[in-house]
Amino acid sequence: MNLTNHKILVTGADGFIGSHLVEGLLDKGCQVRAFVLYNSFNSWGWLDTFPKDKLEKIEIFAGDIRDPYGVRNAMRGIDIVFHLAALIAIPFSYYSPDTYVDTNVKGTLNVLQAARDADCRRVLITSTSEVYGTAQYVPIDERHPFQGQSPYSATKIGADRIAESFYRSFNTPVTIVRPFNTYGPRQSARAVIPTIITQLLAGAKKIKLGGINPTRDFNYVKDTVNGFIAIAETDAAVGEEINIASQQEIAIGKLAREIISQINPEAQIAADDTRLRPEKSEVERLLGSNEKIRKLTGWRPEYTLKQGIRETIEWFKDKGNLQRYKWDIYNV
């Protein structure tokens, strides 16, 4: 299915991946309705940074994903929904697990019910590689067991299974899209790559990090967006769970040293115990299989890690972007 001219709802459009997805859909000629979190500042998140001519092409809907009535209103007239709205910070999920259940589980249920009522043609639910927990084998394919190693991952497992149930029970055209660690411009400072880059660009000589031995499979955000769009355009993806992964891994310590070498080779890594996850909660290894998405859609990553890191650093070097980040505190 070609997405051009289709009416599309993106929840979480004000966030990191969501804002990039909105841009990708506009480039495809889609009619985009952007669901942003209502707030008294009338902030539309990263959409506020878009040029006026781009913003004028977007229909903004301010609401709360936890409100079923607002979600139903947002879904009116929609052909395809990309559901990205979620609470995603793992450390904060230790402090506020109830909020994660409300947003990630109930919010996803609201989207599924509204999409079913609106008879949407496609419903893409965003999962996370965190649902797999520490790899029991690699590369991790979609048959890998799920492990709730944090309240965040547990709520995403719950949301995924509710989405599966709507496909099996009501034939709702659901696809569960499971990106591995996405990075790039606009990413939250609570993520490791912005944490490293912002400290370095602010002139810090000691870069504070938590665990440096876990490995991750990183995707540049433009590759992730292309994966979402490729899946939405593939009818055979309905009813499937699909990884978006580079199928390469790197240890956090090695990643940090690579970024340090590009910005300030004299800087050193400093252990910060407050950033460590509880021992049984740390996901020690994530290396995803992209075989399924390749076979179904033909998608392949276009960016190497080095290329993506270079583009991300250049974005952060813009003082207008860097000043949005509180580099000197730990963002939970």
- The upper half-sphere exposure of residue 317, i.e. CA atoms within 13 Å in the direction of its Cβ, equals 8
pLDDT for residue 323: 94
Instruction: Decide if 287 contacts 247 (C-beta within 8 A).
Output: yes
pLDDT for residue 55: 97
Give the mean model confidence (pLDDT) for residues 228-250: 98
Among 309, 293, 160, which Cα is nearest to 226's? 293
pLDDT for residue 329: 87
pLDDT for residue 78: 98
pLDDT for residue 145: 98
Residue 52, exposed/middle/buried by CB under 10 A (0-12, 13-18, 19+)?
A: exposed
What confidence tens digit (pLDDT) does each residue in 273-321 have? 999 999 999 999 999 999 999 999 999 999 999 999 999 999 999 999 9
To which residue do tokens 């965040």 refer?
152
Distances (CA, A) of 144 to 19, 245, 256, 294: 30, 14, 28, 18
Map residue 215 onto helix, strand or coil: strand
Tell me what percent of the residues of the chain surpass a pLDDT of 90: 97
Instruction: Report the C-alpha gap between 316 and 180 in whole angstroms.
Output: 22
Does the pLDDT value for residue 113 go beyond 90?
Answer: yes
Mean pLDDT of the chain: 97
pLDDT for residue 4: 96
Instruction: Report the C-alpha gap between 262 and 211 in whole angstroms.
Output: 21
Give the mean model confidence (pLDDT) for residues 235-259: 98
What confidence tens digit (pLDDT) does each residue in 173-196 have? 999 999 999 999 999 988 999 999
φ/ψ of 171, rounded to 5, equals 60, 25
Map residue 243 onto helix, strand or coil: strand
- pLDDT band with cut points at 50, 70 and 90 for residue 328: confident
What confidence tens digit (pLDDT) does each residue in 24-47 have? 999 999 999 999 999 999 999 999
pLDDT for residue 81: 98
Tell me what percent of the residues of the chain surpass a pLDDT of 70: 100
pLDDT for residue 331: 76
To which residue do tokens 């974005």 refer?
315
pLDDT for residue 309: 97
Does the pLDDT value for residue 117 go beyond 80?
Answer: yes
List the domains of the chain with CATH numbers: 7-184+219-244 (3.40.50.720)
Residue 29, exposed/middle/buried by CB under 10 A (0-12, 13-18, 19+)?
A: exposed
pLDDT for residue 129: 98
169, two tokens: 């029970």
What confidence tens digit (pLDDT) does each residue in 54-99 have? 999 999 999 999 999 999 999 999 999 999 999 999 999 999 999 9
